[in-house]
């Protein structure tokens, strides 16, 4: 399997969106085929429910999928009970209120049950011309329940990937971008301001997406373990670079106290050497996170960091903050490497 991963192009092995697309497509087709095979009316209700329940990412999938399955069946059941009101010719507006009021309270208390309201509306939307109200509601509830079960089953069986592997691969893309962030921090003349802002905004967006991978839902607490450690040290490296940039602007080569000149301030050679060593190291770390190599040796990076810190100390005595951020960046990178190693060693699909 490792040889196959190495042989495949980088774009294919990192295409986690492709796995999600395959899961969603298989779930939708399976739901339609199952309802067609048993001649269940309204097959699209099962397909819609399947797409609601199926998880686009398989991290924490078993628990989250069964939460959605339970919520969907709960919503369908409550809506089926509400259809008794049609026997009494109750207004549809009243039926919707009766069905959604308790589900709204449940969803407000626990967002994992927000799919219950969608399932209830799917059941209530069944056409009255299909037969007796209870029969129509029962058939629609069966379709919704079948779709929910198929969605949960596909999520845990089709192209599953562990949370640790998904987090490590996304972190690989981010640490490669950190080389550009460090370049922007030490060299203000690198590119134009607008392109730098767009680049840094894109990195921040990716960090937010990375953080969501260790949560089963946006309002849930982050999971613990190697995946959470990868996210922690990746975020800390981003913060280290951001603070390094500020310190260099305040007390380093980019300080406003430096002599004014039309020419851009040249990057100190030791800082340039450190940036190059950092770029080479994060490339190796990204390869490690993708499962293509072992942990890199960062001895040279530590040496370049020491030389850069010493040069800053000699040239800019008040640059203690910048020197601290350089050392913290290297230490957080070392911690990230250890976390990726633990994630790769013990990665198993989460139940």
pLDDT score at 350: 41
Q: Give me 73's structure tokens.
A: 């069946």
- Count CB-CB contacts under 10 A for residue 293: 13
Q: What is the pLDDT of residue 1?
A: 38
At 225 the pLDDT is 81
Residue 351's pLDDT is what? Answer: 36
Residues 163-217: pLDDT tens digits?
777 788 889 999 999 999 999 888 877 777 888 889 999 999 999 988 877 775 5
Tokens representing 153?
Answer: 């089953």
pLDDT digits (tens, 9 = 90+) for 93-129: 999 999 999 999 998 887 778 888 988 888 888 776 6
CA–CA separation, 347 vs 164, rounded Å?
Answer: 6
- The percentage of residues in the chain with a pLDDT greater than 70, rounded to a whole number, is 81
Q: What share of the chain is helix, strand, coil (3-state, %, to 5)?
A: 75, 0, 25
Please give the structure tokens belonging to residue 305.
């960091």
- 209-218 residues labelled b (16+ CB within 10 A) or e (exposed): ebbbbbbbee
Band of pLDDT at residue 14, cut at 50, 70 and 90: low
- The 10s digit of each residue's pLDDT in 221-245 is 566 788 889 999 999 999 999 999 9
pTM: 0.67
Instruction: Check if the beta carbon of residue 274 is closer than 8 Å to that of residue 304.
Output: yes
Which pLDDT tens digit goes with each residue over 254-299? 554 545 444 556 678 899 999 999 999 999 999 999 888 899 999 9
Q: How crowded is the C-beta side of 133, counted as CA atoms within 13 Å?
A: 15
Q: Higher-confidence residue: 12 or 160?
A: 160
CA-CA distance, 192 to 190, in Å (whole number)? 7
Mean pLDDT to the nearest integer, 62-69: 69
């Amino acid at each position: 399997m490792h040889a196959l991963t190495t042989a495949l192009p980088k774009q294919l092995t990192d295409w986690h969106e492709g796995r999600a697309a395959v899961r969603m497509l298989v779930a939708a087709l399976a739901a339609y085929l199952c309802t067609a095979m048993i001649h269940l009316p309204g097959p699209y209700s099962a397909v819609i429910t399947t797409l609601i329940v199926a998880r686009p990412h398989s991290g924490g999938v078993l628990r989250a999928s069964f939460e959605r399955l339970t919520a969907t069946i709960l919503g369908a059941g409550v809506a089926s009970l509400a259809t008794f009101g049609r026997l009494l010719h109750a207004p549809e507006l009243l039926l919707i209120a009766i069905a959604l009021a308790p589900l709204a309270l449940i969803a407000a208390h626990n967002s994992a049950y927000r799919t219950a309201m969608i399932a209830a509306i799917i059941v209530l939307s069944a056409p009255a011309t299909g037969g007796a109200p209870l029969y129509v509601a029962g058939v629609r509830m069966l379709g919704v329940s079948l779709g929910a079960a198929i969605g949960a089953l596909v999520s845990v069986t089709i192209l599953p990937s562990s949370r640790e592997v998904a987090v490590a691969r996304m972190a690989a893309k981010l640490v490669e971008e950190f080389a550009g962030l460090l370049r922007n921090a030490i060299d203000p003349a690198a590119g134009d301001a607008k392109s730098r802002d767009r680049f840094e905004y894109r990195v921040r967006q990716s960090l937010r997406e990375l953080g969501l991978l260790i949560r089963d839902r946006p309002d849930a607490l982050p999971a613990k373990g190697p995946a959470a450690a990868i996210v922690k040290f990746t975020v800390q490296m981003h913060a280290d670079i951001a603070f390094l940039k500020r310190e260099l602007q305040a007390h380093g080569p980019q300080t406003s106290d430096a002599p004014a000149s039309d020419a851009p301030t040249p990057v100190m050679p030791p800082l340039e050497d450190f940036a190059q060593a950092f770029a080479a190291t994060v490339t190796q770390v990204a390869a490690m996170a993708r499962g293509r190599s072992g942990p890199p040796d960062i001895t040279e990076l530590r040496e370049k960091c020491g030389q850069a810190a010493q040069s800053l100390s000699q040239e800019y005595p008040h640059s203690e903050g910048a020197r601290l951020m350089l050392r913290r960046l290297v230490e957080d990178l070392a911690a990230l490497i250890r976390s990726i190693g633990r994630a790769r060693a013990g990665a198993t699909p989460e139940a």
